[in-house]
Each structure stands twice: as C-alpha cells, then as structure tokens.
Amino acid sequence: MPALLLVDGSSYLYRAFHALPDLRTSKGEPTGAIRGVLSMLRRLESDYKAEFRACVFDAKGKTFREDWYPDYKANRPSMPDDLRAQIEPLHEAVKAEGWPLLCVDGVEADDVIGTLTRQALERGWEVVISTGDKDLTQLVGPGVRWVNTMSDEVLDEAGVTAKFGVPPERIVDYLALVGDTVDNVPGVEKCGPKTAVKWLTEYGTLDNLVANAAKVGGKVGENLRKHLEFLPLGRRLVTVSTDVVLPVALEDLPARDDDRVALRALYERFEFKGWLQAIDAAGSNTTAAAGNGGAAIVEVPAGEPGAHRTAYESILDWPAFERWHAKLEAAELVAFDTETTSLDQMAAKLVGLSFATVEGEAAYLPLTHTYPDAPAQLPIDEVLAKLKPWLESDRRRKLGQNLKYDAHVLANHGVTLRGIEHDTLLESYVLESDKPHDMDSLAKRHLGIDTIPYVAVCGKGVGQICFDQVAVDRATEYAAEDADITLRLHRNLWPQLDAAPALAALYREIELPAMQVLFDMERTGVLIDAFLLAQQSEELARRLMTLERDAHELAGQPFNLGSPKQLGEILFGKLGLPVVKKTSTGQPSTDEEVLQQLAEDFPLPKLLLEHRGLAKLKSTYTDKLPRMVNPKTGRVHTCFSQAVAVTGRLASSEPNLQNIPIRTAEGRRIRAAFIAPRDHVIVSADYSQIELRIMAHLSGDARLTQAFAEGEDVHRATAAEIFGLAPTEVTSEQRRYAKVINFGLIYGMSAHGLAKNLGLERAAAAAYIDRYFARYPGVAAYMERTRADAKARGYVETVFGRRLYLPEIRASQAGRRQAAERAAINAPMQGTAADLIKKAMIATRKWLADTKLQSRLVLQVHDELVLEVPRAELDTVKATLPSLMGGVAALSVPLLVEVGSGENWDEAH
C-alpha cells in the first residue's frame, strides 16, 4: 500500500534553530535553521521511502484553541528575529526540494497532521510522522509510526507504552494530567509523569479517575480534586484534531522532483557551498573541478576564521589520489587525521582522511559521506588497499593529534598503523601538563589561530549530525585544517621539547612508547563474568532495600534517600543534627564530606554513606559493565588517557576501571568478575610502597634509605624510631600509627589531619610529627627544599624530568597557596611513580614480544599491571616480572614488585 510521510515542520524549525550554532552568510544573514531543517528532511527522505509526503508548518494567527482558552500558549516567548527571518526562505527551500508544504489558517500543524493521518488510514496507507513533539504520539497505532530524526527514536504502539508508561490511546489523558508548560495548559499540580501513569494504570481512563477522585489520597489527591473542573477542557486542548477542513487531498501530495534552478538560487544566497557544488556536479554529470583533476579547491576569505589557510583540496577522483599518494611517499613527515562516525574508538568507522606535507597545503579524502546529492567518492576498500603499505610502513613517518584514536579507527578497517613519529597531543602534555591539549586550544595558544570548531560543522546536542552528513566542501575546510594545524603545531612544539633534553627524553622514551602499549591493552580488552555481576546486582539491590528500610526507621518516617532537600529536612530539621556547612543557596549541605563528619557521632549519616557507596557500585559496575561488553570481541574495552592528570598518571574511562574500591568486600567481589579466559590465569604485578621508596630516593634520608635497602618493614622501622623502641617491641597499633604518618606526610597531612585520622588530640599528633622529622631529618629538608624550589620556578620535577606545574604556589590567598605547597611535596613522588609504571609497561610489552610469549597486558591501575597469562607461561611470567619491573630505573633504594596470580583479578591481587 502507499506510504505517507508527514513532517512537523514547526518542530523541525525550532529544534534546528536551537541545536545548531549561529551560522551566517558573509553578509550576516542567519542560516542555521534553514540548513538544519533541510539536512533533517534529506536524511528522513533517505531513511523512509514514501510515495506521498508533506511538510506542515503552523500558520500565523490564532487557532480554535484560543477561542476555547484565551491563555493557550500565552506564556510563549516571542519568536527570535533571526528565526523569523529564516521562515520564508525555508518555506521556499522546502518546496524547491520537492516537498508539498502546508500551512492552514486557524489550526495547528498537529491538527493538519492528525487529519491527514486519519485520511490515510481510512485508505489503508502506512503513515510515518516525523516530529519531536510528544503530543503526536497519540496518533500512533496500527500503520502509524512516530519518528524523531534528532534522537533516532522510532515509536510504534509498544514503543509509546514503553516510553510514557501508557498506550497511545491514553496519551491525551496523560497529557491532561501532567499539563504542558510550553502551551500553557495547566495539569494537576504536583502530578508528574509517574503519578499520572500510576493513576491511569489503576483507574484505566481519565474519566474513571475523575469519577473516583474522592478515593485518591494525599496532597496530590487534594490537587486533583481542585482541578476537576478544568480537566475536560485540558483534555480538549491537548487532543489533536483529525477532522479539520484541508485545502488539499491526499492525491495532491505526491513526492516531487526538486527544482534545481530554485535551489541553486537559494544555495547561492545562503552560501551552502557543498550543496551548490553537488547541484553543479549533478548538472554537468562530473565531479572533477576544472583543471584540478578532481581536487576541488576551497578558498577562505581573509579575515574569517581559518584565514591562515591557502588552499585545501577535496580528493574526488583517482588522478588526484595518485598525485597526493606520491606526495605522501616522498614526504619526510606527514600529518594525517581521520574523520569518523563515532567517538567510540572500537566502533568508529572511517568517513574520510586528511593529509598535510607542507604548511598551508592539505587535502581531505572523503570516503563515506552519505547525505543526499553527496558527490561521488572513491571506493573506501580500494583506497585503503592502496594506502595500506604507506600506513603500515615503519619507514613512512607520521604525525598526528591523538594518533592512538586514529590507530583504532584504522584497525577497525583491518589496517595496522605504524611509523608514528610524533603526536602533538603528547608534545603539548610533556611541555605544559597543566594546560588544555585539544587542537583548538593549542592552535590559539601557540599559533594565534582560531580553528573551525567541531560544533560549527556538525552542531551540538540533539541536533548534532554525524560527520558523514556534512557537505564535502565544508568537511574539507574542517578536516584539511586539522592536518595542516597539526603540522604547524609540531613545528612549534618540537623545537621547544628538543631544547630541553630531559623533556625530549621523557617524550621519546616514555610517552610515545606508552601510547602503543595503551593501544594494545585497549584493543585486547578484559573478560568479565556477566552472570556473576548480575548476581551481585541482585544482592546489592536487596541490601540497598534493607538499608533504605533501616534509614526510614532511624528517621521515623519514609523519605527519598537520593533527595538532598528531603535528607536535609530529616537530618537538620527533624533530628536536629548540627549543620556542618551550607550550600551556595544557604541550605545545609548533605554532601559526602558532611555525612562523613556526622557519621562519627550519628547512625543515620553512617548508614546513608553505606547506601551511597553500594548504590554507586551497583549503577557504575554491576549494572553497567555487562552492558559494555563489545558484541564483536565479547570483552570490555576501556579507554586509557595519557594527557589528563598533571602528574603523568593515566586515566581510565568508559568504563573507569581504576576506581573500583578494593577496601570493601563488595568492591573486591567486582574485581572477582574480571576473569581469565580458558587455560589462562590473571597475573597482578604491583610495586610495593612505591611512593615511600621514591621519597627515600628524593630525600636521601639515611635512616629511611637504610630501612628499604635492608628489606625492613618500613612502617615498623618508623614506629621504632618515633616511639624509641626496638623493632621487635613495636605493637600493631604503633605500626598502624607509623603507617598513617608515613603516607600522610607524603600527601602533606597536617597535625590536625593526623589527629583526626588517628583519633588523637592535636598536641599528641603534632608531637608525633616533630619526632618523625627529628628521626628523619632528610625528609624534613627535602620538603623545605621542594617548597622553596616550587615557589622559585613555578613547578617541581620527577626523577625523570617531568615538570609538574603549580600555578597557585605564589597565590596571595593562604589556603590556595598552602594547597599548592602540599601538592609540591607529593607531585614528584606521584609523578615519578607514574613514570615508573609506564616504563614497566613498555619493558613488559617488549619482553613479551621479544620472547614471543602469548601473555598479554590487559590493565594498568596506578602502581599495578594486570596480565592474562597462559597456564604454560605462568612460572616464567611470575619469575621474570619482579626483576623486569624492578630494573626499569636505578634508584637509591630497591624497587620491590609483588606478583600474584589467580582465576580472577581479586584472587591475583
């Protein structure tokens, strides 16, 4: 049967206007809404083939609903001038694109769509309604689907029920209850979606609910009864009419061919260069630009963003490709970049590649742009086959910005990227770890250039389009600029690095090789036991229910544990607990720090902390991890970021596998779900007391160095020094005190902090600290020296020369300055530990490759490496890792590595 495609043009218009950036012509005319609506129409037309179609807009003036209710839509703000200016040309463009356009006086676009839908269904047609307006879901039913192009959401009857909790035939009742603030239709006060669904589930219909209104209890029941007189009118206001008189019949709405003459004039006026190029190319049946062998030149007027450019090329045919291929083969260094379909590095597919060999000259090779009328592009498989020898050559030197991501994208297409010579992300990170390292920031900071931001090309939020929908000429401006700017940045950053031998060595010997190790680990992923995590989720859910019940008993009433407002009312209003601090709005704070302080004296805050911790474990790990298993590999693939922490530590995200708590039984059980594959075991290799050992090396303190050199229990040795005892006489409690002092001083813990941590009087804690420094004068001298150096230079250094900048070290505000001084003490130790684990990763990967062992690194967590090891290799790996990792640097104290193994990560660690 025929299909009818109906578009809510008014919904498209507003969403495109607010989603896209402020795009304008060189004369200042706004174009964002026009471009956005036309892009969505083209995508919809491509996805849903229909013999009949219409794009429906609201007409000017009042509708019949204002006659019923004068305040209907009374609160809507006036239309922005920049939006109003785009309506008339948009209407022209929609018609020129071959879409019948409807505006019917006295009714809304929804009513026109409702009437056309009814008429189509009466003839047995299929209907697709495209909008972002939830009101139109009331029309969904057999033969009618609701489509939101901005969110890729498609709803049939089951989909509407799943989304709203009520079927399409109850949407009107639902809307009458919850109201519509946009249209100024008041619902029942305090009745949100959950309450509306609850009522309609219990009573079936709005009429039944009204008939039983006296039975509805609570404050919201009172509000319902106050609103009974308005509900019938509210329901009429939100009901889409399906019987309005239309000036057209269904037969008047066939899909038409576009009017290329009219479109060309509009595209010229609004400077839609890519679409204009597509029309011209279609008209001449060729994609080759005159005299350029398929390489379309993109000129940028002086004074606009990007005026640093000369000419960028779009490679659209084989002669242009061969010319650039020859450039790549001949160049000493090539900057290149990928444009893709996704930020998910394991799922991203190529849209195009860009290259630059000299400053000011770059090319974009589009491969999979799929928007309507996109120019013909070279076949991706043939292109990659021709480029593969160059991409996989160690001798062809490549440069990029975050090449680890590009390597993943190419790997998704069966290409192994080799020959990585430089990465501007890492160059910037080594030079200035405290500053942003994204390309836009780097170009502004080092080149004085405002680059084209991604949102200017693809938009943002729900209106963001995929790069394959960007017009090729616009994509060329953006992508070729990326390659060009990368080359320029390298030529600015590398001389700075090269002039500082320690930094150059850090970049060459640690950061660049570590990037390859991280790529391998991300690609490998980790194996998890989804069934075990599901069991844990169920157990956590039961425990959370018990804790919630216990919390209600302690509070003397039920309340929402996740509501700061209700929690504040219970803790400080009803129970009268002391207010520790207030929020910016003046309300008593219930944050983690406050609850921890209150938990020392009161049971409810302690229980709330436990509830929060378990709820986070459940939502972040036991619920989420199974959903993150890659369907192709059967594994979870985290992303390790090198250029985030100023100390050099790695960060893990999507999922974050570095923050799984191990001090609780529940956290350790999550680690137990990280398992080895068949005939393998998990091996964990962990540096022991690494930061204390680095402190001994940096401070040169004789007693501390001797304790490590002789393999003593350093905490017991410290306790013996502080308490004036023989090591054999130290009690477990005294050793615990010493351990807190050892680690606390590394992080700049004050006497107040130590007293709080150990449960002592402040004077006693201060005495312990004084005694510690008296016994370890080298540590005291190191701390004083480090503070002075940091204040003089603005940074401190690791053993390997990494600079850790401290911008607040000279701050006039005492609190900020003291925090920077504490950071100055710890940063060299934490930074050196980060450098050591990276060196250990590099050494381990090289050893495994050289010996052709099948064991693989799968995780790095702070001072720990995690491997998957075949059982036949277990003895070799456990015997080798301690000396291998312990030998990556020659410190004044030995680096001790503890190695464990097991069927899962928890057993191994």
What are the pLDDT digits (tens) for 833-866? 999 999 999 999 999 999 999 999 999 998 999 9
pLDDT band at 745 (very low <50, low <70, confident <90, very high): confident
Q: What is the largest CA-CA distance in the chain?
A: 101
815: confidence class by pLDDT, cuts 50, 70, 90: confident
The secondary structure of 295-345, three-state, reads EEEECCCCCCCCCCCCEEEEECCHHHHHHHHHHHHHCCCEEEEEEECCCCC
How far apart are alpha carbons 895 and 877 in whole angstroms? Answer: 18
User: What residue ranges define each of the domains in the chain, with the CATH number in brackets?
Assistant: 3-163+241-252 (3.40.50.1010), 272-499 (3.30.420.10), 536-632 (1.20.1060.10), 690-832 (1.10.150.20)
What is the Cα–Cα distance from 196 to 202, expressed in whole angstroms?
10
Is 90 exceeded by the pLDDT of residue 611? Answer: yes
Q: What's the residue count for the chain?
A: 909
Residues 6+ apart with CB under 8 A from 264: 276, 279, 280
pLDDT digits (tens, 9 = 90+) for 415-426: 999 999 999 999
Q: Cβ–Cβ contacts within 10 Å for residue 748, how many?
A: 16
Higher pLDDT, 282 or 15: 15
Per-residue pLDDT, 517: 98
Whether the pLDDT of residue 553 is over 60: the answer is: yes
Q: Torsion angle, CA of 81/86/88/89, rounded to 10 degrees? A: 150
Range from 30-44, 287-301, 373-387, 486-500 carrying the lowest mean pLDDT: 287-301
- Asked whether residue 867 carries a pLDDT value surpassing 60, the answer given is yes
Please enumerate in sequence order all residues whose Cβ is within 8 A of that of 469, keeping only pairs 6 or more positions apart, or say none.
39, 43, 369, 370, 371, 458
pLDDT at 714 over 70: yes
Q: Give 828: exposed, middle or buried? Use CB within 10 Å, 0-12, 13-18, 19+.
A: buried
Lowest-confidence pick of 16-30, 125-139, 520-534: 16-30
Asked if 481 and 451 count as a contact pair (C-beta separation under 8 A), the reply is yes
Rank 182-196, 224-238, 403-417 by mean pLDDT and report only the highest: 403-417
CB 370 within 8 A of CB 496: no
Give backbone dihedrals phi and psi of 19, rounded to 5 degrees, phi first. Answer: -85, -35
Average pLDDT (8-36) is: 84
pTM of the model: 0.67
Task: Grade residue 290 by pLDDT with cuts at 50, 70 and 90.
Answer: very low
Place of tokens 């300055």: 817
**Among candidates 883, 842, 838, 843, which has minimal Cα distance to 864?**
838
What share of the chain has pLDDT > 70, as a percent? 96
pLDDT, mean over the chain: 90
Question: Which segments of 493-586 are extended strands (E)?
Answer: 527-528
For residues 862 and 658, what is the distance between their CA atoms, to the nearest angstrom?
7
pLDDT at 310: 62
Q: Tell me, what's the pLDDT at 307?
A: 42
Strand partners, 338: 353
Question: What CA–CA distances, in Å, run from 810 to 748, 789, 821?
Answer: 17, 12, 9
Predicted pLDDT of residue 393 = 96
Q: Look up residue 447 and give its two tokens.
A: 């080149």
Q: Which residues contact 660 (CB under 8 A, 6 or more apart)?
A: 621, 667, 670, 671
The SS3 call for residue 363 is: strand
Adjacent-strand bridge partners of 423: 400
Residue 298 above 80 pLDDT? no
Q: Rounded mean pLDDT of 375-381?
A: 95
- For residue 858, the one-letter residue type is V
Residues 6+ apart with CB under 8 A from 623: 537
Residues β-bridged to residue 4: 52, 127
Of the candidates 669, 561, 562, the residue with the CA atom closest to the CA atom of residue 622: 669
pLDDT on residue 311: 77
Residue 309: pLDDT band with limits 50, 70, 90 = very low
- Highest average pLDDT, of 66-70, 512-516, 758-762, comes from 512-516
Question: What's the pLDDT tens digit per position in 239-286?
Answer: 999 988 888 889 889 988 888 888 989 999 988 887 887 777 665 432
Instruction: Specify the range with the lowest mean pLDDT, choosing from 493-497, 712-716, 748-752, 795-799.
Output: 748-752
For residue 121, the SS3 value is helix
Confidence (pLDDT) at 61: 85
Rounded to an integer, what distance in angstroms lies between the CA atom of residue 199 and that of residue 224?
11
- Asked if the model's pLDDT at residue 291 lies above 50, the reply is no
Q: Is the pLDDT of residue 584 over 90?
A: no
The helix-helix angle for 424-431 and 472-498 (nearest 10°) equals 40
Is the pLDDT at 303 greater than 60? The verdict is: no
Say whether pLDDT at 906 is over 60: yes
Looking at residue 749, what is its pLDDT? Answer: 81
pLDDT value for 21: 67
Mean pLDDT of 361-366: 96
What is residue 779's predicted lDDT score, i.e. its pLDDT? Answer: 92
Q: Retrieve residue 856's tokens.
A: 């693989």
Q: Is residue 304 over pLDDT 60?
A: no
Phi/psi at 869 (5° precision): -130, 125
- pLDDT of 335 above 70: yes
CA 742 remoteness from chain centre: 37
Cβ neighbours of residue 862 closer than 8 Å, sequence gap 6 or more? 649, 658, 833, 837
What is the model's pLDDT at position 283?
58
Helix ranges (DSSP H) in 130-192:
157-164, 171-178
Q: Is the pLDDT of residue 608 over 50?
A: yes
Quick check: 631 pLDDT over 50?
Answer: yes
- The answer to whether residues 311 and 297 touch, using CB atoms and an 8 Å cutoff, is yes
Residue 429 is predicted with a pLDDT of: 96
The residue-averaged pLDDT of 759-779 equals: 89
Contact 158, 165 (CB under 8 A): no
Could you give the CA distance from residue 793 to residue 805 in angstroms, rounded to a whole number? 9
Q: In Å, what is the CA distance from 387 to each residue of 325, 378, 384, 703?
A: 8, 13, 5, 60
Cα distance between residue 92 and residue 322, in whole Å = 42
> Do residues 300 and 307 touch, judged by C-beta distance below 8 A?
yes
Element (H, E) at 63: none
Instruction: State pLDDT tens for residues 59-110.
Output: 888 888 888 988 888 777 778 888 999 999 999 999 999 999 999 988 999 9
683 three-class SS: strand
Report yes or no: 238 and 172 within 8 Å, Cβ to Cβ: yes
CA distance 458 to 809: 41
Per-residue pLDDT band for 507 (boundaries 50, 70, 90) equals: very high
| pLDDT tops 70 at residue 518 | yes
Task: Write down the pLDDT at residue 671.
Answer: 94
Q: What percentage of the chain reaches a pLDDT higher than 90?
A: 63
Distance CA 630, CA 234 (A): 47
CA angle (745, 747, 750) in 5-degree steps: 55
Contact 181, 153 (CB under 8 A): no
Q: Which of 149, 248, 233, 239 is nearest to 187 (CA)?
A: 233
The sign of the CA dihedral 175, 177, 181, 186 is positive
Q: Do the Cβ atoms of 655 and 625 come closer than 8 Å? A: yes
